[in-house]
Amino acid sequence: MSRNSHIENILGPSLYEIVLTSRVLVVGAGGIGCELLKNLVLSGFRLIELVDLDTIDLSNLNRQFLFQKQHIKKSKAHVAKESALKFNPNVEIISHHANIKDPQFNVDWFKRFNIVMNALDNLEARRYVNSMCLAANVPLVESGTEGYLGQVTVIKKDMTECYDCQPKPMRKTYAVCTIRSTPISPIHCIVWAKSYLFSQLFGISEEEEDSPIQESNSENAEEIENLREETEALKQIRLAMGTSEYPRKVFQKVFTEDIQRLLMMEDMWKTRQRPVPLKYEDLEQIPCEGEDEIETNDSNTLKNQRTWSLRENFDVFIRSLKSLSARLLEEQKIKPDALLSFDKDDSDALNFVTATSNLRARIFGIEEKSIFQVKAMAGNIIPAIATTNAVIAGIIVIQSFNILKGRLDECKTIYLDGVRRPNLLPSESLKTPNLNCAVCRNSHFILKINTKVATLRDFVEKILCNHNIGGLDYGDVTVEEGASLLYDVEYDDNLDVTFEQLKITDGKLIRVTSEEDQSNHEPAIFAISHRESFNSPNDWYEIEGEVLGISSPNTKDQDFKPAPTLKRKLEAYAELEETSSALKRVQLDSEIIVPDDEIIMTEYGLDEQSDDKSGFS
Amino acid sequence: MEFFNNQNPHLTEDEAELYDRQIRLWGIEAQQRMRNSNILIVGMRGLSNEVCKNLVLAGVGAVTILDYQIVTEEDFGAQFFLRVEDLGKNRAIAAAVRVRELNPRVAVTAETDNLLLQSEEFLQKFDVICLTNCDISTLIKADNLCRKFEKKFYAASAHGLFGYIFCDLKQHEYIVERKEIKSGREDPEVKRTKKYLEYVSLGTALSKNDWSAVPFRKLRKVSPLLWANQILWKFQEIEGRLPIQDEDKDFAKLKSLRDTYLPSMGVEPSLLANELLSIISRNLNAELSPVCAIVGGILAQDILKGLSQKDLPINNFFFYNGLDGSGLVYQVEPEKAIF
């Protein structure tokens, strides 16, 4: 009997064998990641890679159990690995303290895995991994948790919806007049303090793309003009940073003069409560309470959960303004264009935002908030506990077993919400891809090329236009990378620039759309893999992907994969008929059965090159 | 190290920082209640590793781990609190070392004497008693003792791809919070409602024999694990042990129990197919980490709900089925609807 005896008995010899030899990637070593790594290491997996760019923080320790106090500030990925090895030393874990978007994790790197599991907490990284898994054609288990809620789903190219098939909710934005002129709620004051005042005084300008303050055309044009003048005036005052007069000047501008200016707009206050400006001299004269007196008797309330008095807000405003100003000026001595950005764990910044937000709230008769509450709202804190992450991570592994034994039909989207009865884990069948998805409804190729030497012209004129890829005669094309247009019929400035100079390197994806007869030609996505040399001296690129049976002198024989003929394609579908209705929908609903000259192909285990263990065996 | 019987009954600033992300979810009051609680976990295998981890991370006051058995090779397969050098040591003592490291603020004690379970004096100390991988007669006795002393009782087990949880919370008061968004204000108002549940003992639950009153279309959808569990317990009651894997005679007994015992409760035996019964009755002694994680996570969260008296707890059975991924809750009580 060994440590794996029970595991082998439960999984059965054939699945156990697959698990032993599967290489898995875990993206993220936080709440879900720690639990997931533990489960994998105790389920027979022996080849695990783990990527996380973060370091350990005290607030992680209530749930990320592979970390303890002595690990604070160290790399999550490395410490997670060390902790896991303690309870199973017989596993190979490769940990990367890095960003999953780093070029070293290119599409070839992703292809090495039999399965990828996300344990992320942000949209951007999820999108990125989704794209890479589509490009590499590796199954992806996607998951997320928030408080008591959690969910797990499976993404497999051409078989299921990808992460971007359904639109994701946009970040909350606020109209500029609500923030700058007519706030109603505490959050409006906090956004003002963080994204307007803090930014104007210390940091990035509000014209930044990801500011939550949005201008719209329907706003009062006169008011917009007034606000612009106000911002300009504040910029002028900023020049006095560091002087003893600075706090008074800032205070008088934003809490007195700007409010007096607003009061002159009579119409604005016809139905709204009029704001009451604060006067610096008045606040200076409020008596200071001693520390002991302001401690409440109710020891149930923690220090940071108490709302401050007007005098306290005033004092904290001045103190934090001086601290932040001094810090910025110091940094500017070394780097003249230095800026400070808001960080919820920076106590000066948090104090500043809390105090100024409360002063503004006082002016407008809005409820004031404690620093505990402001931290959550300004810092976008998501409450998190160990149990939700533990359950979700367990579900991820159970789903992985189904994927690895080739039973995608047994995978589902599973939810956890704790309140539902009788099913605590409601589930839905996986959905077929959204036919209009700009991300997954593409032909995916891997382009191996010397990015230092090859130019865009080489790509457009020699690879795309003269070479029939997948039977599509690309003709006139549009080439994009992310949101940038690289080339189209009217924009040829970049043709003689190298890939590297255009920043199209490892990890990048370029999208090619044919201008000709759009309806029959699917866009193609090329995942870039930098190569300095190829097997034969005459070759300068290689393409992997759905290539129809047309060879070219430019590709190596072994990279050339004859695509299954239509007849073989239909045989593959016939096999699928026997599996469940979820898969049947793939054939029937998504119109994948298409005329002969189309190349929409998926790899139904007919591709020997890729280690597609998730084929239907 | 701060022990749970320290002078300050209230949360310290340090604790507030550590537990920040969970206080923002369930509030300071709930955290305080957890912090002042004392929990007994019986049986320290994969499932209890998970439960202990979750409770200790949450910051309960004290946890006592009771196990009379010693660590064997197979234990390393699902127990992350064990280290290679623990082979041959008592399971509770070995694990307790690492449980303490997880959160030094929680007082962790290891006990190795199974007879303690019959000691009223011993059991009185605890607020919650949770028995894992225990036989049915032990469960019934312990539950009855808990009823006598008004302690919250949980029983659970994870084996193969399956797991169950049973709760007996006696008379349980709890509150439910609902966020209502009032028009004009962006901040939702929190509405608190007081609720009350009355639980039955395990013995009473298992005595339910009016299943025929449940409409068949509903009964058909009930997790077959409910029936399987009852049959396995019946087998254990009669034979004094669990069925042995691949032992034909045992399987024949299980089938015959199904065919006689279930109908006596008003349940159609066909609701538990041979194949499923066979799969469930294999690997009764074997744990798989992800299943322990799922059942352990749900169990620990329910214990925390019970302690904090916040949110609807499980009433009274939960079944996890790794074959179809379902996690179903049923109220198994004579004369009551199951959900």
Nearest 5°: CA angle at B149, between B147 and B151? 70
Using 50, 70 and 90 to split pLDDT, how confident is the model at A577?
Answer: very low
What is the per-residue pLDDT for A525?
87
Angle at the Cα of A380 from the Cα atoms of A374 and A381, rounded to 5 degrees: 85
- For chains A and B, what is the number of CB pairs under 8 angstroms? 205
Interface membership of B74 toward A (CB under 8 Å): yes
Contact A393 B101 (CB under 8 A): no
Q: Taking 50 as the threshold, does the pLDDT of residue A603 lie above it?
A: no
Report yes or no: B59 at the A interface, CB cutoff 8 Å: yes
Residues of B in contact with A87 (CB under 8 A): 76, 79-83
Measured between CB atoms, does B325 come within 8 Å of chain A? yes
- B25 has pLDDT over 70: yes
| CB-based contact B58 A304, cutoff 8 Å | no
Burial A284-302 (b: 16+ CB within 10 A, else e): eeeeeeeeeeeeeeeeeeb
Of residues A581 and A94, the one with the higher pLDDT is A94
DSSP H stretches of helix in A192-309: 199-202, 221-238, 246-251, 258-263, 280-284, 291-294
Q: Does B21 touch chain A (CB under 8 A)?
A: yes
State the nearest Cα–Cα gap between B139 and chain A, in angstroms: 24
Structure tokens at A605: 């285990």
Q: Is B5 exposed, middle or buried (0-12, 13-18, 19+ CB in 10 A)?
A: exposed
Supply the mean pLDDT for chain A. 83
**DSSP element (H, E) containing B191:** strand B189-198
Q: Does B246 touch chain A (CB under 8 A)?
A: no
**Tokens 């995916």 sit at which residue?**
A444
CB-CB contact of B313 with B176 (8 Å) = no
- Out of A21-35, A408-422, A571-585, give the one with best mean pLDDT: A21-35
The residues near A86 (Cβ < 8 Å, ≥ 6 apart) are B83
Task: Give yes or no for B290 touching A (CB within 8 A).
Answer: yes
What's the mean pLDDT in B245-271? 94
With bands split at pLDDT 50, 70 and 90, how would you rate the model's confidence at A489? confident
**Average pLDDT rounded to a whole number, residues B143-171:** 96
Judge: A425–B296 Cβ closer than 8 Å, yes or no: no
> How do residues A192-238 score in pLDDT, each as one tens digit?
999 999 999 998 654 445 678 877 666 678 888 888 888 899 988 98
Task: Find, among A273, A344, A358, the residue nearest to A309 by Cα.
Answer: A358
Cβ contact B164:B317 at 8 Å: yes
Number of H helices, E strands in chain A: 21, 16
- Give the minimum alpha-carbon distance from A365 to chain B in angstroms, rounded to a whole number: 13
Q: Do residue B326 and residue A367 have CB atoms under 8 angstroms apart?
A: no
Report CA-CA distances (Å) from B190 to A516, B178, B181, B182, B193: 58, 6, 9, 10, 10
The closest CB to that of A300, out of B28, B79, B298, belongs to B28
What's residue B58's pLDDT? 97
CB contact under 8 A, A386 and B20: no
b/e string for B147-170 if b means 16 or more Cβ within 10 A? beeebbbbbbbbbbbbbbbbbbbb
* Residue B89 pLDDT greater than 90, yes or no: yes
Closest partner residue to B325 (CB to CB) among A1, A42, A414 is A414
* 3-class DSSP string for B264-327: HHCCCHHHCCHHHHHHHCCCCCCCCHHHHHHHHHHHHHHHHHHHHCECCCCCCEEEEECCCCEE
**Is A46's Cβ below 8 Å from some Cβ in B?**
no
User: Chain A contact for B308, CB < 8 A?
Assistant: no
Whole-prediction pTM: 0.85
- Using the Cβ of A271 and the Cβ atoms of chain B, whether some distance falls under 8 Å is answered with no
A564: pLDDT strictly greater than 70: no
* Tens digit of each residue's pLDDT (9 = 90 or more) over A303-358: 888 999 999 999 999 999 999 999 999 999 999 888 999 989 899 999 999 999 99
Is B76 in contact with A88 (Cβ distance < 8 A)?
A: yes
Residues of B in contact with A43 (CB under 8 A): 288-290
Q: How far is CA B251 from CA A194, A429, B46, B279, B280, in A?
A: 68, 34, 26, 11, 11
- Contact of B282 with chain A, judged by CB distance below 8 Å, is answered with yes
Determine contact: B306 vs chain A, CB below 8 A: no
Average pLDDT over residues A517-523: 60
Q: What is the mean pLDDT of residues A439-445?
A: 85
pLDDT band at residue B83 using 50, 70 and 90 as cut-offs: very high
> Do residue B327 and residue A388 have CB atoms under 8 angstroms apart?
no
**Interchain CB contact of A391 with B (< 8 Å):** yes
- Compute the nearest-CA separation of B103 from chain A (Å): 8
pLDDT of residue A573: 39
B contacts of A412 (beta carbons < 8 Å): 325
Which of B298, B304, B325 lies closest to A412 in CB terms? Answer: B325
Residue B331, CA distances (Å) to A90, B200, B214 in order: 43, 10, 12
**Chain A contact set for B19 (CB, 8 A):** 62
Six token digits for residue A562? 């004859």
A-chain residue closest to B29, CA distance: A300
- pLDDT value for A239: 87
- Segment A506-524 mean pLDDT: 76
- Residues of chain B with Cβ-Cβ distance to A415 below 8 Å are none
> B223 pLDDT exceeds 80?
yes
Angstrom distance (rounded) from CA A166 to CA A151: 15
Nearest Cα of chain B lies from the Cα of A69 at a distance, in angstroms, of: 9
Inform me whether the C-beta atom of residue A59 falls under 8 Å from chain B C-beta atoms.
yes
List the single residue in A87, A398, A421 with the smallest CB-CB distance to B80.
A87
Q: Indicate the pLDDT class of residue A477, thresholds 50, 70 and 90.
A: confident
Provide, as residue numbers in chain B, all residues whose Cβ is less than 8 Å from the Cβ of A304. Answer: 16
The 10s digit of each residue's pLDDT in B35-50 is 999 999 999 999 999 9
Q: Which of A32, A72, A71 has the alpha carbon at shortest distance from A50?
A: A32
The answer to whether B330 contacts A3, with C-beta atoms less than 8 Å apart, is no
Q: Does A43 touch chain B (CB under 8 A)?
A: yes
Q: In chain A, what residues touch B79 (CB-CB under 8 Å)?
A: 87
Q: Could you give the residue numbers annotated as active site of A?
A: 177
Determine phi and psi for A474, rounding to 5 degrees. -65, -35
Question: Which residues from chain A sit within 8 angstroms of residue B185, using beta carbons?
Answer: 184-185
Question: Does pLDDT of B7 surpass 50?
Answer: no
Q: How far is B285 from chain A (nearest CA, A)?
A: 8
Distance between CA atoms of A360 and A110, rounded to whole angstroms? 50
Count the neighbouring beta carbons within 10 Å of the beta carbon of residue A115.
23
> Do A398 and B325 make contact, defined as CB atoms within 8 angstroms?
yes
Beta-carbon separation of B298 and A58 below 8 A: no
* DSSP-based three-state secondary structure for B13: helix
Is 70 exceeded by the pLDDT of residue B102? yes
d(CA A541, CA A469): 13
Q: Does A272 touch chain B (CB under 8 A)?
A: no
| Chain A contact set for B167 (CB, 8 A) | none
What's the pLDDT score for residue A561?
30
Whether B269 shows a pLDDT value over 90: the answer reads: yes
Interatomic CA distance for residues B168 and B166, integer angstroms: 7
Least trusted range by pLDDT, from A263-267, A283-287, A408-412, A537-541: A537-541
Q: Are B25 and A385 in contact (CB < 8 Å)?
A: yes
Q: Which residue of B has its CA nearest to A66?
A: B102
| Tokens read off for B151 | 């302690």
**Chain B residue with the nearest C-alpha to that of A152:** B325
Take residue A369 and report the two structure tokens written for it.
């908030």
